[in-house]
Amino acid sequence: MNNLVDGLSGILRLGTRVSADRGGTANAAGEYITDTTVLSIAAAWACINLVAGTSATLPLMVYRNIKGGREVATDHWLYRILHDDPNADQTAVDFLEYTCVALELRGNGYAEKLRGAGGQVIGLDPIPPGIVSKSRREDGMIEYRWTWNGKSRRETSDNVLHIRGFGGDPMGGMSPLEMGAETFGHARALSRASASIFRNAMRPSGVWQTATKLTSPQIEEIEGRLAAKYQGATNAGRPLVMGNDLKWQQLSMTPDDLEMIAGRQLSVVEVCMIYGVPPHMIGHTAGNTQLGSSITEQTRAFEKYTLRRRLKRIEASLRKQLLTPEDIARGITIEFSMEGLLRGSSAERSAFYNAGLDKGWLNVNEVRAWENLSPVPGGDINRVQMQNVPLTMTATPTTINATPPAE
């Protein structure tokens, strides 16, 4: 965990390094928008945590095409790096989560390709996106420059893995931090304004009124009796007897208070829109009426339209920048296993397995392997239901052994 925190400090604490990204992003609310201030917004933290954490915990697999299908290429040099240990400090989950957080904040994820004595890539070391600057060289290659811990580096795309976010520009993806500066600034301004009200404003629940002028000792006596006898949860509901012709006046919320609450709810929805996350998935259910769609449909839409797009970008970048032409010619591919999303739902997992077993594209031992169970004899045979036969077979009588048992 400490390794991940130290790694994220490369994104969050840029002041300790010479960075290509200086200062915050301007916005109409006048708020200073940086990685740290964006993550201090609860909705933004929840969205980034959800997207990055879910993506990073899906198995990232290396496959090899074989006759009639494909298999997991556990013997390929890239499998260990992507599936187990990308570098000496991080696990595969740590590395992918770091990269995904960088994509959600800066629109770019970088890693240095660590090479062995023979030039083979043996690891990936993440580079904080805020300290990287890029330029196109005369020979057409992209050059990356950064300074980290007092050491300046200058590398080409041969030695830098660059995963681009939304935008498709060869020089890099669009930065959500910059594109969403107005939304983030508005959310920050509302949060700071409400905090200021709670810190500085006097907000009693009501007042005792009387037409008679009270002296200071009388006021202190009334307040003291109220506090001593009726304040606290244990005194809730006790009858209240007051003299001195006092009348209670309840104080309600002002229109400004109600508008601020509505504004804060709207800012949550806007942050969710930036990241493509249904509000209910980060705990915001107020006014959740997206065209009458159910919570289940919204969750599936998140998996289909939000997660899949991000995972496809990562897969394509890894394939293009890590696999050799020989690997591609041999049918080596890199994919996330989306079936990992089923691990938390027994009903959906069971339906998925049953469909595969009934239609013959799964066998018993494949299902048992996914459930961490040992194989069983005969479990490697794929089966189909007897009624699922070609129509042409119905024209030819089939001999069935129907000999009755001996009497």
Report the C-alpha gap between 31 and 24 in whole angstroms. 9
Whether the Cβ atoms of residue 100 and residue 52 lie closer than 8 Å to each other: yes
**The Cα angle at residue 331 between residues 328 and 335, in degrees rounded to 5:** 90
Q: Identify the helix (H) or strand (E) that includes residue 194.
A: helix 181-200
Selection from 18, 34, 269 nearest residue 133 by Cα? 18
pLDDT in tens, the chain (407 residues): 444 444 444 444 433 333 344 446 667 777 888 888 899 888 999 999 999 999 999 989 999 988 877 888 999 999 999 999 999 999 999 999 999 999 999 999 999 999 988 889 999 999 999 999 999 999 999 999 999 888 999 999 999 999 999 987 899 999 999 998 888 888 888 777 666 655 555 455 566 667 677 778 877 877 777 777 666 666 565 666 666 677 766 555 554 554 455 556 678 888 989 998 888 888 776 655 554 456 667 677 788 888 999 999 999 999 999 999 999 999 999 999 887 666 656 667 788 888 888 888 888 888 887 776 778 888 888 887 766 666 565 555 555 455 555 65
CB count within 10 Å of CB 174 equals 17
57 in Cβ contact with 100 (< 8 Å): no
Structure tokens belonging to residue 229: 């006898």
Alpha carbons 407 and 405: distance in angstroms, whole number: 6
Supply 118's token pair.
Answer: 């023979």
User: Is residue 202 packed enough to be buried (19+ CB in 10 Å), middle (13-18) or exposed (0-12)?
Assistant: exposed
CA distances in angstroms from 144 to 65, 135, 153, 403, listed in the order given: 34, 7, 8, 79
Amino acid letter, 390: P
What pTM value is reported for the model?
Answer: 0.69
Distinct helix (H) and strand (E) counts, the chain: 14, 11
- What's the pLDDT at 33? 85
| Backbone torsions φ then ψ of 76, nearest 5 degrees | -75, 145
